[in-house]
């Protein structure tokens, strides 16, 4: 023991000597080296071009363990504590996170830890402020680590080092380079997904650079999820790696996105993966309080699900609040305008019949809430079944869009007076009231939801992202509150007489108004046809347009007053035949392949792909991604205004930003997955990646402004080293 210490002292002394030869000042009293009972640790600097304003320099703590002693990785595993570094740097200097090199598995009886033995360097990137003009830099560090063999000792050290600013500091370049080579990287073009299947994570990794030979080691970055000591089952099938990672029986977390490291023989540095967990986690074990009487019953009722902090770190109540606000804001979105005009119409009708107004408002609210919950339930069920879907998924189906176009055509024709229905459609005038007006109101609520879903209102992105990762009951609660928010304004007008009195009186003008309302409906049909054209192509669009004409003809045959029964029969038959013929001809067209992405990737924009992002960032360029869809009005608005701004495009060019467009008009699992990683489930999403990983990607708001994008651009740091 004593020999070892003196050896270290000797090493430290000779190191100081070598520093002197390198014309560096001697360290202060605290010094760059701390020798404790079981490790020798040293503060190192690496800045081969000197410490220059606006550049990145690297600091690091090199820990040299005595044989068989170890310190821990960022996730220590079954026990232990990660090493922590607290820097003391001059104002303006900002230290990043530790760039942890790949750890080792350290088995200990039935337990497993993740950590380091022998020598390890924990490097940290530090941003030099643009205004730095000092001649030297004083670096202080307080580090704490837990070092264990059979027993554990918490140790700490205070380090101090003063280095000249102008000179190249490259004495430890080899160690920093070797550490970087032993640090995991994101494999280009690889993606992974996970599902929870009976007490294990079933993980699929696609597109790994090379089929790993030999055993893959799985390191979980997330604390409190997997059973570290259990062996992961693995299988390599057609270029896809399938892993089965057993969960800890005492799992305490349910992350929406798992972070992990894969290490295979021949690839010792390993790969980092972000693995979105599809579908809900099973509820964590929780138990109802036992009855106060000491009756030893063996079975008790299952307890409610426990709360888990969601990925987006938004608490559940906050998500509910955002959902309510987002729902209310949906009323300002252009997609819902046609339906809203009908709602206002019916409110005016009932202006002086309070009872009817209240019942109608409540029925509409019920319709909205039930539809939102049903839609969300369907989405959750489909996702649980492994489909890569997100919010707005129904509009990714050309059939659904065509159906919606037909529905709006019918409503428009009805409003224009081509035919009258028995009253299943909203907006039927009082004279032709449906037998059950409440069904009208509820149906108009369902309709409002159907058309509103493509407009992800501000605030809603985060709430929906959280919602889809929560356990099902909570997710459905969020969507129910969303519906409440959307229906709230009408409910308020219906319930509060004072608000109701602000509406105009019903009268003869309403007949004209009703016909006027047909035009927004037809305008909506045009929009839906355009979406369809984007999804499938011009043939399907024309085919569906023909079906709509046939539909209009069929409506006319029904709505025309005729004398004899026979004529009526002929009329109706003609209508049915024409409609059936048109549908028969148009049907195959809906199955057509999508239009190419070239139309989307016009001008400065290239189509998005994981590879494109990887290539751009490997070349040290920042990346801006526009997640968009033809059926998303907000996306289209932003695309044509903000993202077309000449000055902004110039700024992008000046900073070498690669512009990528991810088009989600049709289903695309890769895009769905990328959205999930960003904690979102719908479009629009705008994200700006810096040129390197020294800062997290910036996700901008859905209500995009030029200033906002420019501010985000201003925050990008230049590439390190």
Q: How far apart are CA 432 and CA 423, in angstroms?
A: 7
Q: Is 244 in the site for another protein (CB under 8 A)?
A: yes
Residues of span 92-121 touching another protein by CB under 8 A: 107-111, 113
Residue with Cβ nearer another protein (46 or 251) = 251
Would you call 410 exposed, middle or buried from its count of C-beta atoms within 10 A (0-12, 13-18, 19+)?
Answer: buried
**Which is nearest to 192 in space by CA: 275, 78, 73, 123?**
275
Q: Within 295-354, which residues bind another protein (CB under 8 A)?
A: 295-298, 300, 302-304, 306-307
Q: Does 223 bind another protein (CB under 8 A)?
A: yes
| One residue of 247, 347, 517, 630 binding another protein per CB under 8 A | 247
Task: Rank residues 213 and 560 by Cβ distance to another protein and give the closer one.
Answer: 213
Spell out the SS3 assignment of 407-433.
HHHHHHHHHHCCCCCCCCCCCCCHHHC
- Out of 46, 65, 172, 251, the only residue in the binding site for another protein (CB under 8 A) is 251
Distance CA 691, CA 354 (A): 61
Cβ-based burial of 41 (10 A; exposed 0-12, middle 13-18, buried ≥19): buried
Pick from 124, 182, 284, 359 the residue near another protein by CB under 8 A.
Answer: 284
Distance CA(166)–CA(71), nearest Å, equals: 35
**596: CB partners within 8 A, 6+ apart:** none
User: Minimal distance in Å, beta carbon 294 to another protein?
Assistant: 3
Count of residues interacting with another protein (CB under 8 A): 59
Least Cα distance to 271 among 335, 202, 207 occurs for 207
Backbone angles phi, psi at 217, to 5 degrees: -100, 130
Q: How far is CA 602 from the centre of its chain?
A: 25
Tokens representing residue 558 in the block: 């029904």
Span interacting with another protein, options 61-69, 186-194, 291-299, 359-367, rule CB under 8 A: 291-299
- Using DSSP's 3-state secondary structure scheme, residue 527 falls into helix
Nearer residue to another protein within complex by CB, 192 or 308: 308
Structure tokens at 275: 């693995």
The window from 144-152, 483-491, 575-583, 634-642 that contacts another protein (CB under 8 A) reads: 144-152
- Report if residue 230 touches another protein, rule: CB under 8 A: yes
* Site pattern 588..617 for another protein (x: CB under 8 A): ------------------------------
Q: Is 149 in the site for another protein (CB under 8 A)?
A: no
As given in the structure block, the two tokens for residue 594 are 């999508």
Is 74 near another protein (CB under 8 A)? no
Tell me if 249 contacts another protein by CB under 8 A.
yes
Contact stretch for another protein (CB under 8 A) within 122-130, 243-251, 452-460, 702-710: 243-251
Among 30, 124, 153, 721, binds another protein (CB under 8 A): 153
Q: Do the strands 267-278 and 191-197 form a parallel or antiparallel pair, or are they unpaired? A: parallel
Bridge partner residues of 122 (DSSP): 61
Nearest approach in angstroms of CB 36 to another protein is 13
Contacts of 457 (CB under 8 A, 6+ apart): 326, 327, 329, 330, 332, 333, 634, 702
Q: Residue 679 Cβ, how far from another protein at the closest point, in Å?
A: 22
Name the strand (E) or helix (H) holding 34.
Answer: strand 33-35
211 is a contact residue toward another protein (CB under 8 A): no
Q: 246 or 697: whose CB is closer to another protein? A: 246
Strand, coil or helix: what is 74? strand
Q: How far is the CB of 210 from another protein (least distance, A)?
A: 16
Tell me if 210 contacts another protein by CB under 8 A.
Answer: no
Q: Applying CB under 8 A, does 294 fall inside the site for another protein?
A: yes
Residues that bind another protein (CB under 8 A): 78-81, 107-111, 113, 146, 148, 150-154, 198-200, 223-224, 227, 230-236, 244, 246-253, 284-292, 294-298, 300, 302-304, 306-307
């Amino acid at each position: 023991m004593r020999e070892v210490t003196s050896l270290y002292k000797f090493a430290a002394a000779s190191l100081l000597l070598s520093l002197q030869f390198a014309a560096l000042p001697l360290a202060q009293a605290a010094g760059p080296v701390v020798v404790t009972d079981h490790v020798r640790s040293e503060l190192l600097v690496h800045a081969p071009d000197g410490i220059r304003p606006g550049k990145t320099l690297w600091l690091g703590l090199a820990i040299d363990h005595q044989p068989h002693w170890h310190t821990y990785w960022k996730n220590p595993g079954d026990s232990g504590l990660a090493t922590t570094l607290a820097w003391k740097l001059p104002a303006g200097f900002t230290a990043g996170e530790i760039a942890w090199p790949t750890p080792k598995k350290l088995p200990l009886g039935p337990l497993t830890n993740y950590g380091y033995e022998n020598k390890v360097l924990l490097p940290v990137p530090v941003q030099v402020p643009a205004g730095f003009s000092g001649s030297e830099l004083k670096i202080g560090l307080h580090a704490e680590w837990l070092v264990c063999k059979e027993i554990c000792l918490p140790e700490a050290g205070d380090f101090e080092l003063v280095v000249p600013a102008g000179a190249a500091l490259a004495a430890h370049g080899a160690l920093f380079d070797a550490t970087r080579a032993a640090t995991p990287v994101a494999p280009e073009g690889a993606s992974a997904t996970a599902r929870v299947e009976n007490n294990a994570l079933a993980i699929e990794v696609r597109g790994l650079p090379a089929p790993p030979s030999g055993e893959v080691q799985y390191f979980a970055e997330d604390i409190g999820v997997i059973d570290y000591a259990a062996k992961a089952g693995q299988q390599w099938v057609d270029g896809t790696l399938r892993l089965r990672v057993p969960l800890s029986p005492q799992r305490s977390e349910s992350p929406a996105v798992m972070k992990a490291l894969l290490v295979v023989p021949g690839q010792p540095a390993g790969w980092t993966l972000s693995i979105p967990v599809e579908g809900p986690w099973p509820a964590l074990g929780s138990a109802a309080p036992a009855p106060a009487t000491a009756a030893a019953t063996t079975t008790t009722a299952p307890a409610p699900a426990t709360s888990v902090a969601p990925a987006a770190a938004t608490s559940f109540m906050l998500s509910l609040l955002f959902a309510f606000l987002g729902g209310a804001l949906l009323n300002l979105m252009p997609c819902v305008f046609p339906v809203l005009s009908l709602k206002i119409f019916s409110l005016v009708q009932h202006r002086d019949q309070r009872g009817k107004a209240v019942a109608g408002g409540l029925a509409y609210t019920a319709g909205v809430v039930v539809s939102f919950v049903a839609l969300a339930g369907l989405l959750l069920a489909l996702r649980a079944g492994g489909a890569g879907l997100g919010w707005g998924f129904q509009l990714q189906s050309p059939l659904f869009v065509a159906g919606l176009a037909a529905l709006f055509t019918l409503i428009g024709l009805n409003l224009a007076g081509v035919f009258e229905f028995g009253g299943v459609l909203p907006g039927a005038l009082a004279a032709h009231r449906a037998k059950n007006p409440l069904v009208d109101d509820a149906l108009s609520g369902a309709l409002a939801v159907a058309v509103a879903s493509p407009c992800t209102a501000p605030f809603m992105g985060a709430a929906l992202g959280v919602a889809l990762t929560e356990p099902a009951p909570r997710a459905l609660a969020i969507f129910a509150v969303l519906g409440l928010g959307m229906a709230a304004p009408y409910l308020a007008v219906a319930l509060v007489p004072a608000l109701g009195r602000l509406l105009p009186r019903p009268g003869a003008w309403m007949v004209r108004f009703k016909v006027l309302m047909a035009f927004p409906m037809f305008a909506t049909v045009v929009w839906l046809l355009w979406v369809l054209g984007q999804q499938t192509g011009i043939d399907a669009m024309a085919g569906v347009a023909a079906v709509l004409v046939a539909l209009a003809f069929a409506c006319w045959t029904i709505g025309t007053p005729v004398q004899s029964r026979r004529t009526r029969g002929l009329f109706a038959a003609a209508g049915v035949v024409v409609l059936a013929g048109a549908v028969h001809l148009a049907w195959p067209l809906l199955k057509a392949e999508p239009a190419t992405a070239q139309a989307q990737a016009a001008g400065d924009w290239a189509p998005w792909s994981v590879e494109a992002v990887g290539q751009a960032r490997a070349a040290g360029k920042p990346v801006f991604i526009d997640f968009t869809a033809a059926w998303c009005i907000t996306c289209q608005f932003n695309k044509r205004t903000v993202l077309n701004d000449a000055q902004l495009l110039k700024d992008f060019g000046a900073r070498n930003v690669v512009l990528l467009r991810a088009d989600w008009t049709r289903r695309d699992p890769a895009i769905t997955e990328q959205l999930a990683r960003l904690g979102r489930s719908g479009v629009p999403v705008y994200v700006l990646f810096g040129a390197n990983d020294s800062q997290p990607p910036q996700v901008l708001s859905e209500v995009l402004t030029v200033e906002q994008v420019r501010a985000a651009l201003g925050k990008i740091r230049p590439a390190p080293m």
